[in-house]
Amino acid sequence: MNHYNIENKFPYLGIPTFYNYPHSKDLNGIDMAIVGVPFDHGTTNRPGTRFGPRAIRNASQNYGIYLDPKYGAYDTELKKHIMGGVKAVDYGDVPILPTHTHTNMSMIKATLKNIVDKHVFPVVFGGDHTITAPLLEAFDVPLDVVHFDTHLDFVDGSENMKFSHSNPLKRASELENVNNITQIGIRGFTDFESNYEESLNYGSKIITASEVFKNGTSWVLNQIPKSDNLYVTFDIDVLDPSIAPGTGTPEPGGLNYFQMKELLINLYLKGEIKGLDIVEVNPLFDVSEMTSLLASRLVFDFLGSIF
């Protein structure tokens, strides 16, 4: 193949859409749409994830220069091109209204529903983890959820805190279309025993970070039940803060890049992936864009296995 003409596509030029995909609201004939949700009103610790979608897009410019419209990107480790021929757009952001949490939940759901109803694969950038509950509501099919996180996110808040980043999986467990939940990478001191028991009582499969290290990624994948439809929610703090410091509630002892990549790129073996969100990227606490760059790379690795 000919070398892709990279003239005028350097990372510091142009409008920073994800991997330089075109910005468009037109979903006709589109396979995949990226949408940002700059919402961090549910944060209980360090705010700033509202800037996550833009930071991930900016960081992706480092790779977007090498994305050939026809062949995709060449993965030197896999020794093949990925994402070739995939018709994708950067859909832009949900217009979040500050302090209007319930209104924002409705707008998040409506935006995603517009995408999935057109049979377009959604890739959602948060924002804090609150956004996952309304995203799941947008699907009309039964879903199993694969949840990568440090935290269980199963706190049952009061009515004033019904939606926060401490309870999206609790809210998910209440949805009629959500069945099995597998929670991977759990660790640390920021979950109460009652949260752990409530997750187990629902029927969640909980896999701690130390179990990932001890047993390996193949073992972890074997613990995930097969399903017709899978939804993946990926909190960046599942990774160790040494490689992903830009997050609101970091916790030592997290997964590394290769473990995360192996888990993500093999999830297609467990069922059809229906959607993905990546949340809790906080550029205000990042170092040299490390976290944003890692997020953009892992998303693209994952998409390469799906498409």
Is the predicted pLDDT of residue 3 greater than 70, yes or no? no
What does the pLDDT average to over 165-189? 94
What does the pLDDT average to over 234-252? 97
Q: Which three-class secondary structure state does DSSP give residue 121?
A: strand
User: Running DSSP on this structure, what letter comes out for residue 68?
Assistant: B
In this prediction, residue 139 carries a pLDDT of: 98
Q: Could you list the residue range(s) of the whole structural domain that residue 249 is in?
A: 18-306
In this prediction, residue 198 carries a pLDDT of: 86
3 is in an annotated binding site: no
Question: Has residue 200 been placed in a domain?
Answer: yes
Question: Has residue 289 been placed in a domain?
Answer: yes
Contacts of 177 (CB under 8 A, 6+ apart): 136, 137, 139, 140, 141, 142, 143
Q: What pLDDT, in 10s, does the model give residues 190-212? A: 778 888 888 998 999 999 999 99
Question: Has residue 107 been placed in a domain?
Answer: yes
Name the domain count of the chain: 1
Question: Has residue 3 been placed in a domain?
Answer: no
Question: Has residue 85 been placed in a domain?
Answer: yes
Work out the pLDDT band at 5, boundaries 50, 70, 90: low
Q: What pLDDT, in 10s, does the model give residues 270-287? A: 999 999 999 999 999 999
Residue 289: burial class (beta carbons within 10 Å; 0-12, 13-18, 19+): middle
Average pLDDT, the chain: 93
129 is in an annotated binding site: yes
Question: Has residue 4 been placed in a domain?
Answer: no
Q: Are 197 and 180 in contact (CB under 8 A)?
A: no
User: What gap in Å lies between CA 247 and CA 211, rounded to an integer?
Assistant: 23
Phi-psi category of 101—alpha, beta or left, where left has phi over 0 and alpha has psi -120 to 50?
Answer: alpha
Lowest mean pLDDT among 51-65, 88-102, 127-141, 161-175: 161-175
149 is in an annotated binding site: yes
Q: Are strands 80-82 and 73-75 parallel, antiparallel or unpaired?
A: antiparallel
In this prediction, residue 1 carries a pLDDT of: 47
Work out the pLDDT band at 66, boundaries 50, 70, 90: confident
User: What gap in Å lies between CA 127 and CA 48, rounded to an integer?
Assistant: 8
CATH number for the domain spanning 291: value is 3.40.800.10
Question: Has residue 11 been placed in a domain?
Answer: no
102 is in an annotated binding site: no
Question: Has residue 12 been placed in a domain?
Answer: no
Q: Which three-class secondary structure state does DSSP give residue 45?
A: coil
User: Running DSSP on this structure, what letter comes out for residue 3?
Assistant: P
Q: Are 116 and 91 in contact (CB under 8 A)?
A: no
Is the predicted pLDDT of residue 152 greater than 60, yes or no? yes
Task: Point out which residues pair with 89 in neighbouring strands.
Answer: 33
Is the predicted pLDDT of residue 104 greater than 80, yes or no? yes
Q: Are 242 and 97 in contact (CB under 8 A)?
A: no
